[in-house]
């Protein structure tokens, strides 16, 4: 500090002192660079430790049940027989529902904001979308539980069960009692939660499309839809895939809101309306009552490790897709 | 959400912790969520009297056990009794603090509180998924005067591990051999049918949202929210409504004299007026505490609660410990909690 102060103009110090300050500045710079290295390494170490901790904690479960842990559908704390299949299925299934619902909506909002919306409306809608991301997860959970679930039970599920239930194959998705909660409701709530993230990245991408490209397309007589489909979307395809994958990643780990609405049953069911469980919801439900050193706690940590692996695969896949898109 | 009593108490405690002398040697406890409101209400009154505060974290029985095993708190609290071997291994004294009951709630058009009669085996068959309609003969036979709709039964349970589930599942295992062999009892079980809600409010909310649903919650929760409870048949064959005298009868009729580590079962106890699903919640105290002073403060607190905490407990719909049981607890303090071979509790 003193060294740099000393060299400041107007501090009444001879200019020759600036040269003297240099070695100290170099040391400060080294310290600074070292700190930056530390920050970078810290992330790696932290990540490594978390993976190691989850794996080590889950190891007793993996060694007790072997790889069967991955495809056993039992979760019985009384007999201490644990398997992850129901949760893995629920995690992936509900996240995919969320993405399927959120994707078209995000496209619509993003394109509306960048192309159609009059200038006065852009800010309010943009801010509203961003605010959706600021709503705490538990609020979504309560909204889902107290508002959406009863609406689903009264107006959405019964007609769907009546109309689509009897159809062979697809009908299996629409069977069972109308409980309000379940896989579909969880997916819908999560769709709203990941919507702002996907939309924000879409908007950014669409705004980065060079105006010249779009104007030329309009110039040769393209309609709004044609410009959207043939110019804007192809231009930002890579970033959009990344955005969807990030949304999927967020949906996979969502905990509180899902726990409220998914019905929390550790039974396997094909129906969209049947109660299920995700990895995160099971951990949230069972963790406080899992005794130290119990196989249940080990199994929960093993579940955490599996969630980590799934998230990692999704991220890696998104990277791979983005990269292959860049090459083409 | 009308958790007013619980929340009020919690806020009052939090407030008193910040305002009052934070430097007094407060006692710390952690564990069961079910008795948390009454512990916190007691703590407020006790602090006014003595200046000693209680910092109780309701983090769940399992986590509470872990904390006292590691001796990071002065006492642990658990809804389900800890088994004797584990207590011996961890060198802990277990005693009951307060008694609570689990009641069944339903959502059926035209059925008012305590009008529907159910027996233990029928309840078990409902939760096993064997009785699936409300107009099933087994239910209709019990309720000749009641018009029951022909809609599906949706059994609702606690999705989070909880002492409430432990008590309820223990009851079902007691009345149904099939439940005992197929499902069993623990703080969370593998439910054969139905849907789960997180916490009492989750179960109550799911029942409220779903026509034909049945669920189980702690009595304090049902009475505070005016939920539609049902009658249950007790061991004597009588149908009883969930009321405070029925819970008191269960506590009085439990076999405390022969219970090891005070784990007297109040599930399906005999007596005409007894409510069948009643249970104590427990405190875990180190037998050779690191600090005699802190251990004594814990015992003083519960001694005060047994002596003067009754009205507060009853106001929150808990059942105070019967006087003779409190005496037994004091005797256990004297004989079991020792520092350098000398009893910490001398009163």
**DSSP states of A228-259:** IIIIIHHHTHHHHHHHHHHHHHHHHH--HHHH
How does residue B21 score in pLDDT terms, banded at 50, 70 and 90?
very low
Highest mean pLDDT among A154-163, A290-299, B221-230, B239-248: B239-248
pLDDT at B172 over 90: yes
What DSSP letter does each residue of B167-207 carry, written as one string? Answer: HHHHHHHHH-HHHHHHT--SSS---SSSEEESHHHHHHHHH
Residues comprising chain A, all counted: 328
> Nearest Cα to B300, choosing from B34, B52, B22?
B52
B57 CB neighbour count, 10 Å cutoff: 16
A191 CB neighbour count, 10 Å cutoff: 23
Q: What is the pLDDT of residue A8?
A: 45
Q: What is the pLDDT of residue A263?
A: 86
Among A104-113, A287-296, B183-192, the minimum mean pLDDT is found in: A287-296
Q: Residue A165 and residue A3: Cα distance in Å, rounded?
A: 79
Q: What is the pLDDT of residue B15?
A: 44
pLDDT at A156 over 70: yes
Q: What is the pLDDT of residue B40?
A: 92
Is B97:B152 a contact under the CB 8 Å cutoff? no
Give the SS3 label for residue B133: strand
Query: CA of B283, closest CA in chain A: separation in Å?
Result: 16
How does residue A167 score in pLDDT terms, banded at 50, 70 and 90?
confident
Is A53:A39 a contact under the CB 8 Å cutoff? no
B219-251 pLDDT, tens digit per residue, is 888 887 888 999 999 999 999 999 888 998 998
Interface of A with B in 217-256 (CB under 8 A): none
Instruction: Compute the average pLDDT of residues A152-163.
Output: 87
Residue identified by tokens 């629409």 is A174
Q: Which region holds residue A82: left if phi is over 0, alpha if psi is between -120 and 50, else beta?
A: beta
Give the SS3 label for residue A149: helix
Helices A85-111 & A237-253, crossing angle to 10 degrees? 140
In this complex, is the C-beta atom of A260 within 8 Å of any C-beta atom belonging to chain B? Answer: yes
In terms of DSSP bridges, do strands B213-218 and B154-158 run parallel, antiparallel, or are they unpaired? parallel
Q: Residue A189 and residue A292: Cα distance in Å, rounded?
A: 33
Q: What is the pLDDT of residue A119?
A: 86
Instruction: Compute the average pLDDT of residues A289-308.
Output: 88
B129-170 pLDDT, tens digit per residue, is 999 999 999 999 999 988 899 888 999 999 888 888 999 999
- Pairwise CB contact (< 8 Å): B60 & A79: no
B287-320 pLDDT, tens digit per residue, is 988 888 889 999 999 999 999 999 999 888 888 9
Residue of A nearest to B210 (CA): A179
- The b/e string for B282-320 (b: 16+ C-beta within 10 A; e otherwise) is bbbbbbebeebebbbbbbbbbbbbbeebbebbeebbbbb
Is B229:B235 a contact under the CB 8 Å cutoff? no
Is A214:A225 a contact under the CB 8 Å cutoff? no
In this complex, is the C-beta atom of A15 within 8 Å of any C-beta atom belonging to chain B? Answer: no
DSSP 8-state class, residue B321: P
In this complex, is the C-beta atom of A150 within 8 Å of any C-beta atom belonging to chain B? Answer: yes
Residue of B nearest to A81 (CA): B190
Q: Residue A190 and residue A102: Cα distance in Å, rounded?
A: 9
**What's the number of CA atoms in the CB half-sphere (13 Å) around residue B55?**
15
Residue identified by tokens 């396997």 is A268
Q: Residue B295 and residue B304: Cα distance in Å, rounded?
A: 14
Tokens of A79: 């007999």
Tokens of A96: 């995919």
A57-74 pLDDT, tens digit per residue, is 999 999 999 888 998 888
Residue A156 CB contacts under 8 Å (≥ 6 apart), including other chains: none
Best of A90, A289, A297 to substitute, by most chain B Cβ atoms within 10 angstroms, is A289
Residue A106 CB contacts under 8 Å (≥ 6 apart), including other chains: A195, A198, A199, A202, A243, A247
B76-106 pLDDT, tens digit per residue, is 999 888 888 989 999 999 999 999 899 999 9
Is A306:A88 a contact under the CB 8 Å cutoff? yes
Handedness of CA A296, A299, A305, A311 (dihedral sign): negative
Handedness of CA B178, B179, B185, B188 (dihedral sign): positive
> Nearest Cα to B126, choosing from B150, B153, B92?
B153
Interface of A with B in 282-311 (CB under 8 A): 284-286, 288-292
Query: CA of B199, closest CA in chain A: separation in Å?
Result: 9
Q: What's the 3-state SS for A287-326?
A: HHHCCCCCHHHHHHHHHHHHHHHHHHHHHHHHHHHHHHHH
In this complex, is the C-beta atom of A77 within 8 Å of any C-beta atom belonging to chain B? Answer: yes
Tokens of A105: 């909506």
Query: CA of A78, closest CA in chain B: separation in Å?
Result: 6
Instruction: Compute the average pLDDT of residues B181-205.
Output: 89
Instruction: Kindly compute the dihedral angle of the four CA atoms of residues A237, A240, A241, A246, in this order, to the nearest 10 degrees.
Output: 170
**CA–CA distances in Å: residue B5 to residues A181, B10, B188, B201, B310:** 28, 9, 26, 14, 16
Mean pLDDT over the full length of chain A: 85
Is A276:A269 a contact under the CB 8 Å cutoff? yes
Query: Cβ contacts (< 8 Å) between B152 and chain A: which residues?
Result: 177
- For residue B154, give the nearest of A179, A264, A288 by CB distance: A179
Give the SS3 label for residue B57: strand
Q: What is the pLDDT of residue A20?
A: 53
Give the SS3 label for residue A266: coil
- Pairwise CB contact (< 8 Å): B66 & A146: no
Query: Cβ contacts (< 8 Å) between B159 and chain A: which residues?
Result: 259, 264, 281, 285
**CA–CA distances in Å: residue A225 to residues A214, B5, B202:** 12, 58, 46
- Pairwise CB contact (< 8 Å): A265 & B191: yes
Q: Which helix (H) or strand (E) holds B243?
A: none
- Pairwise CB contact (< 8 Å): A78 & B184: yes
Residue of B nearest to A269 (CA): B193
Residue B308, strand partner residues: none
Instruction: Compute the average pLDDT of residues A150-164.
Output: 87
In this complex, is the C-beta atom of A271 within 8 Å of any C-beta atom belonging to chain B? Answer: no
Query: Cβ contacts (< 8 Å) between B66 and chain A: which residues?
Result: 291-292
Q: A14 vs B264, which has greater pLDDT? A: B264
Is B107:B60 a contact under the CB 8 Å cutoff? no
Tokens of B305: 């609660």
pLDDT at B12 over 60: no
Q: What is the pLDDT of residue A22?
A: 61
What Rg do the C-alpha atoms of chain B give, in angstroms? Answer: 20
Is B95:B298 a contact under the CB 8 Å cutoff? no
On the 0-12 / 13-18 / 19+ scale of CB atoms within 10 A, B114 is middle
Tokens of A232: 């804007």
Q: Residue B271 and residue B264: Cα distance in Å, rounded?
A: 16
């Amino acid at each position: 500090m003193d060294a740099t102060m000393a060299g400041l103009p107007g501090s009444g110090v001879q200019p020759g002192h600036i040269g003297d300050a240099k070695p100290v500045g170099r040391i400060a710079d080294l310290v600074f660079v070292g700190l930056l290295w530390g920050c970078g390494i810290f992330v790696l170490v932290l990540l490594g430790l978390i993976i190691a901790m989850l794996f080590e904690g889950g190891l007793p479960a993996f060694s007790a049940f072997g790889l069967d842990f991955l495809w056993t559908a039992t979760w019985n704390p009384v007999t201490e027989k644990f398997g992850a299949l129901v949760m893995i299925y629920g995690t992936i299934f509900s996240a995919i529902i969320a993405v399927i619902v959120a994707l078209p909506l995000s496209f619509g909002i993003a394109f509306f904001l960048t192309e159609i919306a009059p200038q006065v409306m852009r800010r309010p809608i943009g801010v509203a979308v961003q605010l959706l991301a600021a709503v705490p997860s538990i609020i979504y959970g309560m909204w889902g539980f107290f508002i959406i679930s009863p609406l689903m039970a009264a107006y959405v599920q019964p007609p769907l069960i009546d109309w689509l239930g009897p159809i062979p194959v697809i009908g299996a998705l629409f069977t069972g009692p109308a409980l309000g909660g379940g896989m579909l409701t969880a997916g819908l709530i999560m769709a709203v939660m990941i919507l702002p993230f996907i939309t924000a990245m879409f908007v950014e991408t669409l705004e980065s499309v060079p105006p010249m490209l779009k104007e030329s397309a309009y110039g040769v007589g393209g309609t709004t839809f044609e410009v959207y489909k043939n110019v804007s979307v192809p231009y930002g395809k890579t970033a959009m895939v990344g955005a969807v994958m990030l949304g999927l990643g967020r949906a996979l780990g969502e905990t509180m809101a899902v726990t409220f609405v998914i019905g929390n049953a550790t039974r396997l069911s094909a129906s969209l309306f049947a109660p299920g469980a995700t990895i995160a919801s099971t951990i949230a439900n069972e963790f406080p009552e899992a005794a130290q050193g119990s196989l249940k706690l080990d199994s929960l940590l093993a579940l955490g490790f599996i969630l980590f692996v799934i998230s990692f695969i999704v991220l890696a896949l998104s990277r791979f897709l983005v990269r292959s898109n860049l090459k083409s | 959400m009308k958790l007013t009593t619980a929340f009020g108490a919690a806020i009052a405690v939090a407030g008193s912790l910040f305002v009052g002398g934070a430097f007094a040697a407060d006692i710390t406890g952690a564990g069961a969520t079910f008795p948390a409101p009454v512990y916190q209400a007691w703590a407020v009154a006790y602090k006014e009297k003595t200046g000693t505060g209680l910092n109780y974290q309701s983090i769940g029985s399992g986590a509470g056990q872990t904390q006292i095993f590691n001796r990071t708190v002065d006492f642990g609290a658990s809804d389900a009794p800890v088994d004797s071997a584990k207590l011996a291994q961890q060198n802990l004294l277990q005693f009951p603090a307060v008694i609570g009951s689990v009641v069944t709630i339903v959502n059926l058009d035209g059925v008012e509180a305590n009008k529907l009669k159910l027996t233990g085996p029928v309840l078990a068959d409902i939760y096993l998924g064997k009785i699936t309609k409300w107009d099933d003969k087994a239910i209709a036979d019990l309720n000749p005067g009641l018009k029951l709709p022909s809609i599906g039964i949706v059994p609702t349970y606690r999705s989070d591990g909880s002492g409430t589930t432990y008590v309820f599942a223990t009851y079902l295992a007691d009345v149904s051999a099939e439940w005992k062999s197929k499902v069993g009892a623990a703080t969370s079980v593998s439910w054969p049918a139905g849907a789960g809600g997180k916490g009492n409010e989750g179960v109550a909310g799911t029942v409220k949202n779903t026509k034909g649903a049945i669920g189980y919650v702690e009595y304090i929760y049902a009475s505070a929210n005016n939920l539609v409870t049902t009658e249950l048949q007790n061991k004597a064959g009588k149908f009883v409504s969930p009321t405070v005298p029925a819970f008191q009868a269960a506590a009085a009729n439990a076999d405390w004299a022969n219970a090891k580590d005070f784990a007297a079962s109040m599930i399906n106890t005999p007596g005409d007026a007894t409510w069948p699903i009643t249970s104590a919640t427990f405190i875990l105290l180190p037998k050779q505490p690191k600090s005699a002073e802190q251990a004594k403060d814990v015992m003083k607190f519960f001694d005060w609660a047994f002596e003067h905490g009754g009205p507060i407990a009853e106001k929150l719909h808990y059942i105070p410990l019967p006087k003779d049981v409190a005496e037994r607890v004091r005797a256990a303090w004297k004989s079991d909690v020792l520092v350098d071979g000398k009893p910490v509790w001398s009163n």
